[in-house]
Amino acid sequence: MWVDTLYWIIIGIIDVLAIIFNALLIYLALYRTPKMVRVYTTLIINLAFTDCCSAFLNFFVQQRMIPSGFTIGYISNGWCKLFGYRFCFLSHNLMAHFIVHSNYSLVLSFAYRYYILRKPEPRRKTVLIVLFITYLPSFLQLILYQFAESDPSEIIQLLQPYHPQYNFTGLTVSGVSDIRSVYALYKILQMTVMTVPIFSTILFLRNKIINRLLYRGINISLNTKSLHSQLLMALTYQALLPTLYSINVIMYVLEQSGIYASPFFENFIMSGLVLIPFFSPFTSFFFFTPYRRIILGMVIKNLNKRPVATSETGHGSFPI
């Protein structure tokens, strides 16, 4: 249908823009970050790289997710179908594990900001070790869920009674026949249930940081305090982005439980998550002054390169 085609074109454009924006953020973090927050760039790069990978994989798979009964089916519309259903399932698995790692990374970003308000800034090596530990839950998810993959014919047979109007002929179908298996259940819990403690922790740390910054006895310079405030503002707005994630979780629960199902839900459950890596870089672009100045400088420079019409009024002519 033309509506589906238009939907995937729009999502594809958002994917490409998300990749570009996060790549720009990685560049700024590597080469244009003030020295006093240089260690923190490790976390910025980690989050931007994770979001960049999520956007690329979302573009690569363009997947429609059909959760029905105890089965989840994936219909892939992206380039991955050129390599077969197994590669599409692996690509989906990679994307899901990046999404989960992004959630944990956001918690780590808040924890870091609170930590350095109370203690000396840790070494980059220490941050990398903590980051590796934070990655383990999503890595375990990546390994386990790959073993949950089922044969496409079995997936179609299980989905057909719930959707007799669907014609799966010629489509690239993959999925999981029984989500109650340990391999599948771990991933589902990570992407649904675990969002509650993750986002609760983010809000808790945010309040602790605000109280610490407002405490008059804190011994940091005004310049450093200003940078903390800017980064906190960026993180705060970044923390609001997971509300988009919660919408996708609700859609998934409604579909899987059979309460409500629609083609739009099936398309949006996974692909709609690209809105988070699309908007996420803007929090740093807008609320972190060094990055904002660079972005504005780039925009102004490009505008100045455009040809300017002038009035023909002789020696004293000026741009119109």
Print the SS3 string covering 48-94.
HHHHHHHHHHHHHHCEEEEEECCEEEEEECCHHHHHCHHHHHHHHHH
Residues in the chain, overall count: 320
- The β-bridge relationship of strands 71-76 and 172-176 is antiparallel
* pLDDT, tens digit (0-9, with 9 covering 90-100), for 211-220: 877 765 555 5
pLDDT attached to residue 223? 62
- The Cα 2–Cα 8 span in angstroms is 10
pLDDT attached to residue 40? 85
- The Cα 10–Cα 23 span in angstroms is 20
pLDDT attached to residue 245? 86
pLDDT in tens, the chain (320 residues): 677 888 999 999 999 999 999 999 999 999 988 777 788 899 999 999 999 999 999 999 999 999 999 999 999 999 999 999 999 999 999 999 999 999 999 999 889 988 988 888 899 999 999 999 999 999 999 999 999 999 999 999 999 999 999 999 999 999 999 999 999 999 999 999 998 999 899 889 888 887 877 765 555 555 666 666 666 677 677 777 777 888 999 999 999 999 999 999 999 999 888 899 999 998 888 877 788 888 888 888 777 776 554 444 444 432 33
Q: Which fold has domain 2-289?
A: Rhopdopsin 7-helix transmembrane proteins (1.20.1070)
pLDDT attached to residue 241? 77
Question: Residue 27's closest CA among 40, 45, 15, 43?
Answer: 45
Alpha-carbon separation of residue 157 from 31, 72, 149, 169, 317 (angstroms):
53, 12, 15, 12, 76
| Amino acid in the structure at residue 1 | M
- The Cα 135–Cα 180 span in angstroms is 24
Question: Residue 187's closest CA among 252, 146, 250, 141?
Answer: 141
Please compute Rg for the chain using Cα positions. 23
CB proximity list for 93: less than 8 A, separation 6 or greater: 142, 145, 146
pLDDT attached to residue 228? 64
pLDDT attached to residue 283? 83
| Amino acid in the structure at residue 268 | F
